[in-house]
Amino acid sequence: MSERIVPSGDVKLWSQATGDPRHPALLLIMGGNLSAMGWPRELVDMLADAGLHVIRYDHRDTGRSTHRDFTRHPYGFDDMAADATAVLDAWGIEHAHVAGLSMGATIAQLLALDHPRRLRTLTLLLGGALDVDFDANIERALTGQPSPDGLPLPTRRFLDTLTLAPAADPDAELDRRITKWRLLAGDELPFDPDEIRRWEQADIDHAGTTQEPTAHHMLTLPPLTRGAEL
């Protein structure tokens, strides 16, 4: 396991590699406002033990990567896709398996469109196609408007997670995060609050702060027309 600080334009990104560099590379792209610690250590080790050279990294404005005022230093999904390619370049990886979760699924699709030769395979988790207007659907759900295509809109349970205010006390902040993940997890699968607390504490220790990132809420989604390219 080794770490590397990666330059990408005018920001620096923390990254970490696990496993044998002679093995096929797997780039893990985490979701919005989450650091590389969103990929649990146990999962990373399991993937490495299965014969992969696993790379995870902190998005800008998360973890140990560059943090700046978004209003003074705005950026978009193209910049975040460039961050991902910068990580591959820094580790000398010509092409990799790519797995993206949530916002990372959007970034991964842009990589597939703009840098197809850099990808061996593409795995998308908890995301949607580039022609899904998530921002508009959240607004429709908040205002009681109907779905334009008959598909379900975000639920009240999901919307409630958007209003959970950060807590100043470290223990209270951990409790808030556990509440958020409990709401997001739903009722169909087991939920282990102690395990979530351990993962969130690892993220806090990694970042050196209990303040949860929020900059990615201000990102504008890629144009819906990019979906047709898929």
Could you tell me the domains of the chain? Answer: 2-229 (3.40.50.1820)
Residues 166-177 have a mean pLDDT of 90
Residue type (1 letter), 108 = A
Higher pLDDT among residues 157 and 68, named by residue: 68
First-to-last alpha carbon distance for the chain, in angstroms, is: 35
Residues 82-109: tens digit of each pLDDT: 999 999 999 999 999 999 999 999 999 9
> Cβ(81)–Cβ(3) under 8 Å?
no
Instruction: State residue 1's pLDDT score.
Output: 82
What is each CA distance from 168 to 98, 119, 173, 204, 220, in whole angstroms? 36, 42, 7, 13, 29
Please check the confidence at residue 51 and state whether its pLDDT lies above 90: yes
pLDDT in tens, 116-141: 999 999 999 999 899 988 889 999 99
- In this predicted structure, what is the pLDDT of residue 165? 84
Pairing state between β 96-101 and 119-125:
parallel
% the chain with pLDDT above 70: 100
The 10s digit of each residue's pLDDT in 191-209 is: 999 999 999 999 999 999 9
- In which element (H, E) is residue 125 found? strand 119-125
